Amino acid sequence: MSNEATLHSKEVVHGAHAHDGHDDHEHHEGGFISKYVFSMDHKTIAKQFLITGIIWAIIGAFFSVLFRLQLGFPDATFPWLESILGHWAKGGRITPEAYYALVTMHGTILVFFVLTAGLSGTFSNLLIPLQVGARDMASPFMNCLSYWFFFMASVVMMSSLFVQTGPASGGWTSYPPLSALGDASIGSKIGMDLWLTSMALFVVSQLLGGLNYISTILNMRTKGMTMTKMPLTIWGFFFTAILGVLSFPVLLSGFILLLFDRHAGTSFYLSELFVAGKALSNEGGSAILYQHLFWFLGHPEVYIIILPAMGMVSEILAVNSRKPIFGYLAMVGSMFAIVILAFLVWAHHMFVTGLNPFLGAFFVLLTLLIAVPSAIKVFNWITTIWKGNLRFTPGMLFSIGFVSTFISGGLTGIWLGNSSIDIHLHDTYFVIAHFHIVMGVSAFFGTFAGVYHWFPKMFGRYMNNTISYIHFWVTLAGAYLIFWPMHYEGMAGMPRRYYDYSSWESFKQFADLNHFISIVVIVVFAAQLLFVFNFFYSIFKGRKVTETNPWNATTLEWTTPINPGHGNWVGEIPEVHRWPYDYSKNGKDFIPQTVPLSPEEEAEGSH
Amino acid sequence: MQAMSLQRNKIHPHKYSLWIAMGSITMMFIGFTSAYVVKRSQANWYTFQLPMIFWISTAIIVASSVTIQMSVMQFRNRHMQRYKQLITLTAILGVAFAVCQWIGFKQMNDQGLPLNGPASVSFIYVIVSVHLLHVLGGVVALLVMFARAFRTRVRTYSPVPIEVAATYWHFVDALWIYLLIFLSIAR
């Protein structure tokens, strides 16, 4: 039986040549197009997500370099800026409009296109079938569609960078009324429409992907792979997908209403406005309504970003400590708690919108509750590596870096979760520092850890270690050097999103600090280009993998051939007998999940 | 590739995906209806009567749920002629539903309740048309099923596609009834 038939087709073929012709997409040995472009193999789709994500990451990070030039050197001019940005950088200085566009696109690209699609798109696709023991996703076709919707979203977003009035520039949250009124700023014209279109396509892509991830995990696990025998990576992807399918549609609702306000003259979000001295006819709308709808996704979104990283880090820490993960069920339970709480805290982004302080108190309480599962996870990661036999592979270093940044960024979350402190710190650099460390840098560390760790599975080669170590240390030191000082700026009240702080007496004192931060940004950006070079160079020229299980790991993906074909396993899918964390057990370094329990283990009632 | 074992499936993955998708669509409408509730609690909420034709469209979509369920039974019994007739009828009822909703919009517009009127009116247009898009999606799915039923070269014996389509159809039906009740009560 061909693989495709085993996957989902129950159609009985009549006639001698039913196998040629139109249905050759079901035969992946076919041409270049069906193998590399419209592929339905989850591993190829994962690589497509990863490489698209890397391209977006370079663009998004480069934008931050550009606006950091403005923030760090507000008086300087860079003639080369004019040659690449044209009238957006007249005289070599970024214009305010360009600055807002860059800030907005930096946020949109990194939050959605890199850390949502690039991160969970890559690793959910790669690891779910490989680690649960499935031939492919529940619906390979929908999986393929998911990538191509993401691709279309990318094309639309990219094209918005080139329209005459520029891309959306009302911030990555696109709050109305600014985003709803084309006359309010040039960034709210066609660029905003393209942004909304692109995001709608993006939501569709995420839903198609998420459906597949959930349905594959729940239905297509191999024999013996009970839910509690799944690696924590899979739990991470599972909870991520649940968050996605439940919260992205609400965001879409918010966007649909916004589109109607923009083009059909409705007043969902608009009321009693004056633009350029003219009174608008819109009456009775509420801009806060959008914020509720947006943050109902927006808050789960940060967990959509961090949960896959948490799962992968748990796995990589255990593998490279040669120790079982500490508190497996506590890890799963805390992820579950995070998922539940994710839906109940959105209004902590809205403490200063005139939210009833009594209501705010509940959101404070629920927000602070998130510290409990987060602390459990941190404790378990540290106890996992405690007295372990640590192997400092690049993946391991980035995982340890993840724990570090997650702690230092998470702690400031406790400050911000208190409404009374938030009123002072809201929309300051303290918030920037907090979410960049806990969500941006940590999620990137998780991604890097995943790329370094599973690169041998993806491409059958290793990445260069020396470059990886340089990449790690520069990135770790750089992340702290960039974001640590921002806490002080924020405590002093320095607001985010301002174009030039030099005209404020209170913030002039930070000129040198901003200068310093911008230089570090450039260095860190260069280190990321080193990673990109290493990645692409190693795909073609990296040291070849010679054994199927290079990290001596227990999980199923390492039981496949070095370069697995579509269908992953030749012959039978292996059966699972034990949990994935049998390291340093009974005098053995590791016992793969496929090894049956020994009589002694049966007796003691092992995992 | 030929020697691969069968994938173990507990419940057909497409059916499972459909249930999750329905959860997702439900969340979208929860988003709309909660926005509606929030907006309604604010000042200047304008109340009006929903067009009566929405009740006729309700009858049509309930009838179409019955016909699609019958078509599933006919498919299982391999009465392909009846099956084809029933899914065609279902698709026609789906289009009739769309026409009724459209007439409803026209009536509202003619009564001086245009899309860009008060927010309570705009909500009706948006919610009803997003629901309608989901019904039309179902009609497209039925057209695909219809084309498949006439294929001679490849015959389908699996009832899964029609069962998936029928479940979805009942879902948009139930969703409409929920929306109608919600919009009638929470005026």
Give residue-wise pLDDT tens across range A312-370: 999 999 999 999 999 999 999 999 999 999 999 999 999 999 888 899 999 999 999 99
First CA to last CA across chain B, in angstroms?
60
What pLDDT is stored for residue B80 in this prediction? 86
Contacts across the A-B interface (CB distance below 8 Å): 167
Mean pLDDT to the nearest integer, B166-171 = 96
Six token digits for residue B61: 């979509």
List, in order, residues 6 or more apart from B143 with CB less than 8 Å away: B91
Residues 430 through 489 of chain A touching chain B, CB cutoff 8 Å? none
Measured distance CA(A298)–CA(A520) in Å, rounded: 29
Q: Does B39 touch chain A (CB under 8 A)?
A: yes
Task: Select the residue of A142, A220, A268 nearest B9 (Cβ to Cβ).
Answer: A220
Q: Does B159 touch chain A (CB under 8 A)?
A: no
Regions of chain A where pLDDT drops below 70:
1-30, 605-607
Q: How far is B94 from chain A (nearest CA, A)?
A: 24
Do B35 and A266 make contact, defined as CB atoms within 8 angstroms?
Answer: no
Identify whether the C-beta of residue B98 lies closer than 8 Å to the C-beta of residue B135.
Answer: yes
Identify whether the C-beta of residue A10 lies closer than 8 Å to the C-beta of residue B158.
Answer: yes
What pLDDT is stored for residue A93 in this prediction? 93
Query: Which candidate in B2, B5, B26 is best for mutational testing of the A interface (most A CBs within 10 A)?
Result: B5
CA-based nearest residue to A450, from A108, A49, A59 = A49
Query: Which candidate in B10, B34, B124, B154 is best for mutational testing of the A interface (most A CBs within 10 A)?
Result: B154
pTM for the full predicted model: 0.91
Task: Select the residue of B2, B7, B122 nearest A135 (Cβ to Cβ).
Answer: B7
First CA to last CA across chain A, in angstroms?
35
**CA B180 to mean position of chain CA atoms:** 13
Host H or E run for residue A278: strand A278-279
Q: Does B157 touch chain A (CB under 8 A)?
A: yes
What pLDDT is stored for residue A107 in this prediction? 96
Phi, psi of A365 (to 5 degrees): -60, -50
Residues 234 through 263 of chain A touching chain B, CB cutoff 8 Å? 245-254, 256-257, 260
In order of A67, A71, A504, the CA distances from A500 in angstroms are 11, 6, 9
Residues 127 through 156 of chain B touching chain A, CB cutoff 8 Å? 130, 153-156
What pLDDT is stored for residue A387 in this prediction? 92
Q: Does A575 touch chain B (CB under 8 A)?
A: no
List of domains in chain A: 45-604 (1.20.210.10)
* A448 SS3 class: helix
Dihedral-angle region of residue A168 (phi above 0 means left; psi in -120 to 50 means alpha; beta otherwise): beta
What pLDDT is stored for residue B154 in this prediction? 67
Measured distance CA(B61)–CA(A238) in Å, rounded: 35
What pLDDT digit, counting tens, does each position of A32-52 carry? 777 778 888 999 999 999 999
Q: Which CATH number fits the domain that encloses residue B126? A: 1.20.120.80
What pLDDT is stored for residue A29 in this prediction? 53
Which residues from B are below 8 Å from A257, CB to CB? 32, 35, 126
Residue B45 lies in a domain: no
Measured distance CA(A413)–CA(A508) in Å, rounded: 27
What pLDDT is stored for residue A30 in this prediction? 60
Higher pLDDT, B187 or A50: A50
Count structural domains, chain B: 1
Measured distance CA(A556)–CA(A298) in Å, rounded: 34
Higher pLDDT, B174 or A3: B174
In order of A229, A310, A342, A433, the CA distances from A373 in angstroms are 21, 12, 12, 22
Dihedral-angle region of residue A284 (phi above 0 means left; psi in -120 to 50 means alpha; beta otherwise): left
List, in order, residues 6 or more apart from A563 with CB less than 8 Å away: A460
Look up the domain containing B108 and give its range. 13-38+60-185
Identify whether the C-beta of residue A231 lies closer than 8 Å to the C-beta of residue A555.
Answer: yes
| pLDDT for residue B8 is more than 60 | no
Measured distance CA(A381)–CA(A360) in Å, rounded: 32
Query: Which candidate in A146, A203, A211 is best for mutational testing of the B interface (most B CBs within 10 A)?
Result: A211
Task: Select the residue of B8, B23, B154 nearest A245 (Cβ to Cβ).
Answer: B23
Q: Does B8 touch chain A (CB under 8 A)?
A: yes
Q: Is the dihedral of CA B130, B135, B141, B146 positive or negative?
A: negative
Which residue blocks in A220-286 are alpha helix, DSSP H? 232-263
What pLDDT digit, counting tens, does each position of B85-141 carry? 999 999 999 999 999 999 999 999 999 999 988 888 999 999 999 999 999 999 999
Which residues from B are below 8 Å from A14, CB to CB? 153-155
Do B17 and A11 make contact, defined as CB atoms within 8 angstroms?
Answer: no
Q: Does A353 touch chain B (CB under 8 A)?
A: no
In B, minimum Cα distance to A569 occurs at B4
Residue B34 lies in a domain: yes
Residue B1 lies in a domain: no
Measured distance CA(B166)–CA(B25) in Å, rounded: 16
CA angle at B52 for the pair B47 and B53, rounded to the nearest 5°? 130
Residue B17 lies in a domain: yes
Q: Does A271 touch chain B (CB under 8 A)?
A: no
What pLDDT is stored for residue B47 in this prediction? 87
In order of A327, A401, A443, the CA distances from A308 in angstroms are 18, 16, 8
CA-based nearest residue to A209, from A268, A137, A302, A278 = A137
Measured distance CA(A370)–CA(A302) in Å, rounded: 13
What pLDDT digit, counting tens, does each position of B12-30 carry? 878 888 999 999 999 999 9
